[in-house]
Amino acid sequence: MTASKVLTEALLSEHCRRLRRRGRTTVFTNGCFDLLHPGHVSYLEAARGLGDALIVAVNSDRSVQALKGQGRPIAPEQDRARLLAALACVDYVTIFDDDTAARLLSALRPDTYVKGGDYAHDAPVEAPVVQAYGGRVHILPLAAGYSTTDLVARIKSHDQI
């Protein structure tokens, strides 16, 4: 079942068109999701509550390394996609290799684009793309105490002991 939720952009685009024809709303979020933790799960569950179907776009291994630096990602893109697809709140997962999700958002045209609370003061760079086709940008607060970067640092500090 989880493998059937991980789709290419072309297949995902067709699913989005079908959902729109049926009057269903789509919610889109994206990220590295390098080490899945409870903060991610809370965020994704809240995002799913904003529409009928939740699409999660996972940064490719190349784009994670460009964003996060050497040594990342920890988990390969196919593993990260499969873990996300296993969550009941996630309807579809795709992997993208661009530096931002702007092109993918333009192609899929979700009703709502969701980003985490770390964007509270600055709109995500993709916001103008979403607003141009009439979509909404929604910022969700992040669960306190959860950060993949902090988790990686804690794991590395245990290696030094």
Domains of the chain, each with CATH number or no CATH:
2-159 (3.40.50.620)
Burial of 58 from C-beta contacts in 10 A (0-12 / 13-18 / 19+): buried
Query: Do the beta carbons of residue 46 and residue 143 sit within 8 Å?
Result: no
Token match 């950060």: residue?
147
Strand, helix or coil at 59? strand
Q: Check: CB of residue 110 under 8 Å from CB of residue 34.
A: no
- Give me the amino acid identity at 94: T
Phi, psi of 23 (to 5 degrees): 75, 15
8 A C-beta contact, residue 63 and residue 30: no
pLDDT of residue 68: 87
pTM for the full model?
A: 0.89
Note every long-range contact of 131-134, with CB atoms under 8 Å and residues 24 or more positions apart, other chains counting: 133/106, 133/109
Q: Which residues contact 130 (CB under 8 A, 6 or more apart)?
A: 105, 110, 113, 136, 137
> For residue 157, what are its two tokens?
């500090």
How far apart (Å, rounded) are the C-alpha atoms in residues 28 and 114? Answer: 6
Q: Which residues of the chain have pLDDT under 50?
A: 161
Confidence at residue 161, expressed as pLDDT on a 0 to 100 scale: 44
